[in-house]
Chain A
Amino acid sequence: MAVGVELEDLVQIVTSVLKTEEMPIDELHEDTDLRNYNLSSITAVELIVAVEERYDIIVPEDDLMIENVNTIHKLRQLISKYMTD
C-alpha cells in the first residue's frame, strides 16, 4: 500500500465524487466495480481530479481511461504510480 493512501480516504473521495445513494459504503471493498455505482468516463475523470488534488499528483492523458480507476484497488495503484515517480 502506498504511503499515505488510506482506504478510508479513498472511500470518502469515491463516495463524494460518485454521489450515489445506492452505494453500500460498508460493503465497498478493494475490488468493487465502481461502474455499478455511477462511474462513467466523465465521472472517472472527476475522480482522478479529486485524487490529484488530494495527493498532489498529476495523472497524464494515457491513464485517464475508466478502466484505470474502476475499483479502489486500481485507484490506489494509479495514485502510487504517480506518488513514487
Chain B
Amino acid sequence: MSIVIPQMTVQPGSHCLFASIRTMLAAGYDVNLSEAEIYFRCDGMNVEYHPTTNPYWLGRSGDEMLRHMNWDGPARMQYSFEAGAWSDQGQFIADIKDELAAGRPVILFALSGFLTYHAIYRDNPSRPHVVVLYGIDEANDTVELIDSFLLEYSGEAHTYQGSASLSDVMKGLYGVGFLSGLKSSFSSEEHDFMSVLHERINRFLTAQSSPDGSSRHGLQAYYGFVEGLEKAAELDADSFTNVCKEAYYCLRIGSVMHQWSYFMELVQEFPDAFRLGPDAWLKRFEAEHLDWKKHLLNIYKFGLRSNRSGWPALLNQTRQLLDRQQSLLVQFVDDMIVQVKQ
C-alpha cells in the first residue's frame, strides 16, 4: 500500500539540512521558522575540525546539529545515525508509514551517489546529503522526496520533487530523523531566540580544542583547518589539486559561506534587534560574503594550477579573513538590543 502526504511543495533552500527541517516543521506541525533561525538553533555555525583523523575537512556533523535542534527547537526530534536503526527494513518502513499517516514527513541522510533520481548525483562524487521523504510505495519500490538544495558541481543550486528508487535510497542511507511532537516549553519570542543566538556566537568565538586535542570547534576549527592545509603544499600536484577542491567545498557548504548568508537573512528577519539597524549589518555581511567568495575561488584556482609555492601566502590571507570575521562577530554580539539571558 502506498502512502503519500498530499499538497507537499518543494521550496528552494540554501542548505539541505536546514531547508529539510524547515519543510518538516511546516508540513508536520504548521510551524514556520526561517532557514536562518533553524541554522542557529541547530548550532550550525560551530563547525568542527579533527586534525588527526580528517586533516583536510571542516564541517558539522548531522548528529550534533539534530541534538541541538532537539534541545533548542520547537519540536522533539528522534534521530539515529546507527545502521541498526534501519537494518530491519520492514520495521523501518512501517515506522516511516506511521509518520506519514500522521502527516509528518521524515528526513533522510543519504549519500548523494545513491540518490539516482538526478544526473548531478549520478555523475559526480558522492557526498552526504539530506532530503525530505513524504511518500512511500513499497510495491513499486519508490519513495516520494523533496530535495530543496540540489547543488550542481558548477555551483548552481536546483530543487527536485518526485519519485526515487526506495532500494537505491536505502543503500545510501546513513541517518534518519523524525519529529515526535511539539514542545510545550518552546518559546517563539524574539528575545528567547536572541538568547540562543547570543550563546551560539559566543561559543563560536570562545570554543577551544577538546581536552584530548582531537578536535577543535568554532572559530578555532577554522584556524586549525588552515594550519592543516599548510601541509598540503608538500603533496604531489594531483593530491594538492584535490585538497584545494575539497577545501573549496568545505568552506562553501555548511561553513563560512552559509554563515554569512544566514547572518544576512537574520538581520532582515529581525530588523529591530541590532542598534546599527539591518542595512548597516547587511552591508557588512555582504562585503564579507563577497570577499570570502573570491577567496574560495582563488583557493580553487591555486588547486587547478598546482600552485604550491604561493600557498603559504594565500593561507595568510585566509587567516586575515578569519581575524576580520572574529572582530565583526564580536561587534555584532555587542550590538544586539534584545536583552539576553546570561
Contacts and interface: CB of A to CB of B under 8 A. Distances in A.
Nearest to B153: A42
Minimum-distance CB pairs A-B, first 8: A40-B154, A64-B297, A41-B155, A61-B298, A49-B304, A61-B294, A40-B155, A45-B301
Interface of B: 152-156, 293-295, 297-298, 300-301, 304-305, 317
Given A61-B295, A62-B294, A43 B301 contact: no
A33 interface: no
B154 A49 contact: no
A36 B304 CA distance: 23
Given A45-B304, A49-B305, A52-B305, A65 B155 contact: no
A45 B300 contact: yes
Contacts of B153: 42
A42 B245 CA distance: 10
A48 B152 CA distance: 20
Contacts of B295: 61
Given A40-B155, A43-B154, A65-B293, 8 more contacts: A40-B154, A42-B153, A45-B300, A49-B301, A49-B304, A49-B305, A61-B294, A61-B317
Contacts, number: 39
A48 B307 CA distance: 14
Interface in A38-81: 38, 40-46, 48-49, 52-53, 61-62, 64-65
A61 B155 CA distance: 18
A61 B297 CA distance: 8
B154 A48 contact: no
Contacts of B294: 61-62, 64-65
Given A62-B294, A64-B294, A48 B155 contact: no
Interface of A: 38, 40-46, 48-49, 52-53, 61-62, 64-65
A41 B301 contact: no
Given A45-B304, A52-B305, A65 B154 contact: no
A42 B155 contact: yes
B301 A48 contact: yes
A62 B153 CA distance: 22
A64 B301 contact: yes
A77 B305 CA distance: 22
A38 B154 contact: yes
Nearest to B152: A40
Given A61-B294, A62-B294, A42 B154 contact: yes
Contacts of B156: 40
A44 B298 CA distance: 11
A41 B299 CA distance: 13
Given A38-B154, A42-B153, A65 B301 contact: no
Nearest to B290: A65
Given A38-B154, A41-B155, A65 B305 contact: no
B154 A41 contact: yes
A65 B152 contact: no
A41 to B, nearest CB: 4
Contacts of A61: 294-295, 297-298, 317
A13 to B, nearest CB: 14
A76 to B, nearest CB: 19
B297 A45 contact: yes
Contacts of A64: 294, 297-298, 301
A53 B305 CA distance: 9
A53 B301 CA distance: 12
A42 B298 contact: no
Contacts of B293: 41, 65
A62 B297 CA distance: 10
Given A38-B154, A40-B152, A40-B156, A65 B297 contact: yes
Most chain A beta-carbon contacts within 10 A, residue among B294, B297, B305: B297
Contacts of A46: 304
